[in-house]
Amino acid sequence: MSNDHEPLATGSAAGKIILFGEHAVVYGRPAIAAPVQQLRAYAEIHPGRKCQVVAVDLNRVIDVAEAPEDDPIALMVRLACHELGRSLPPWRIVIRSDIPMAAGLGSGAAIAAATARALLAGFRVDLPLARLSEMVYEVEKLHHGSPSGIDNTVVVYEKPVWFVRGWPPEPFATPRPFHLLIADTGIPSPTRFAVADVRAAWQKDPVRYEALFDRIGRIAAEARRHIEHGRSADLGPLMDENQQLLAKLGVSSPELERLCAAARAAGALGAKLSGAGRGGNMIALVEPEKRAQVKQALLAAGAKRVVETKVA
């Protein structure tokens, strides 16, 4: 990550996928999300002359003291220092990420959490996970406008969680792990715009949209019961139904529909978009022996890359 000698401290954080409930979660319905350990953001701290962030993937160097208030990476550094009662340290914070940006995988939250963890390690201080999640949420507001809070929760706790806005997150048991493929459309999809469009549509026709949100919420509740009882195969039809409802919300796309159809045709148990939609990623539930053929079908249908993950 850096050519320098050993860093003073490091931090990392996983990406995330939403299994069920995106968009409806903004309106008080439950959602289920899980970390993606195969995709992570990393931060390293090295000695420097002033407090700087080197964003490797963005090819940017940020002077934290001079950065504008709406710079999310600088904000995370300031929040962490303020929380700990420290002034900005003379550190060079080098960050990079495996997580595609604007793809519904929690890239912004993971970068913020990794940065905060590196700073906490550098200062040799621990924070409760709930407080760290609150700090990452403040950064999420810059990325997403009106975020649900699910990204920061999953990224910080790094466990599958049941999430209802305004309530403490509930990590819950997955007695039988299940396998997912995450396929990237290659189309960036900033969450802020999709969320704003759904809100505008909801304001015009609240009765229709509240009914759709209710149905999505019921699917999430049923999915949790199946997961907790080890009935992962039963999640497939729920994923397909959730995808149909997301299409009715106006957040699917031809590319997402094509990937979902290809996955099902190749033997996936179910498939849906994950995240904001209109691009970004979709997920497919697969039995272990079908992973290779479904992955090949997704790539043939136009996926830019496919990541295998296990929810456990």
Token pair of 53 as six digits: 């962030």
Give the C-alpha distances (Å, rounded to integers) separating 93 from 7, 116, 117, 118, 198.
Answer: 10, 10, 11, 8, 37
Render pLDDT for 254-268 as a digit per residue (tens, 0 to 9): 999 999 999 999 999
Return all residues near 216 (Cβ < 8 A) that are at least 6 apart: 20, 21, 23, 24, 29, 242, 245, 246
How confident is the model at residue 1, as a pLDDT?
53
Which amino acids are annotated catalytic? 151
Question: Which residue, among 240, 239, 220, has the nearest Cα to 228 in the 3D structure?
Answer: 220
Could you identify the residue written with the tokens 């609240």?
A: 206
Which one-letter amino acid corresponds to residue 44?
A: E
pLDDT tier for residue 4 given thresholds of 50, 70 and 90: low
Residue 195 corresponds to which tokens in the numbers above?
Answer: 């969320």
Tell me the CATH class for 178-311: alpha beta
Highest averaged pLDDT of the listed ranges 57-71, 128-142, 170-184, 209-223? 209-223
Quote the tokens at residue 43: 């931060």
Rounded to 5 degrees, φ, ψ at 236 are: -55, -55
Q: Model confidence at 222, in pLDDT bands (50, 70, 90)? A: very high
pLDDT above 70 covers a percentage of the chain that reads: 98
For the chain, the structural domain boundaries read 9-171, 178-311
Give me the residue label for tokens 């809100």.
199
Report the pLDDT averaged over residues 292-305.
98
Cα separation of 2 and 6, whole Å? 9
> How far apart are the C-alpha atoms of 140 and 144, rounded to whole Å?
6
pTM of the full structure: 0.84
CA-CA-CA-CA dihedral for 105, 109, 112, 118, to nearest 10: -70
If we measure between CA atoms, which residue out of 219, 279, 207 comes closest to residue 245?
219
Whether 2 has a pLDDT exceeding 80, the answer reads: no
**Predicted confidence (pLDDT) per residue in 123-155, tens digit:** 999 999 999 999 999 999 887 777 778 889 899
Same fold? 9-171, 178-311: no
pLDDT at position 147? 74
Over residues 234-253, the pLDDT tens digits come to 999 999 999 999 999 999 99
Taking residues 98-120, report their average pLDDT.
91
Number of alpha carbons in the 13 Å side-chain half-sphere of residue 170 = 15
Neighbours of 27 (CB within 10 A): 19
CA distance 102 to 281: 10
What was the pLDDT predicted at 53?
Answer: 97
* Helix (H) or strand (E) segment spanning residue 266: none
Across 278-307, average pLDDT: 97
**What is the distance between the terminal CA atoms of the chain, rounded to a whole angstrom?**
29
The CATH code that applies to domain 9-171 is 3.30.230.10
Say how many C-beta atoms besides its own lie within 10 A of residue 176's C-beta: 14
pLDDT at 287 over 80: yes
Mean pLDDT value across the chain: 94
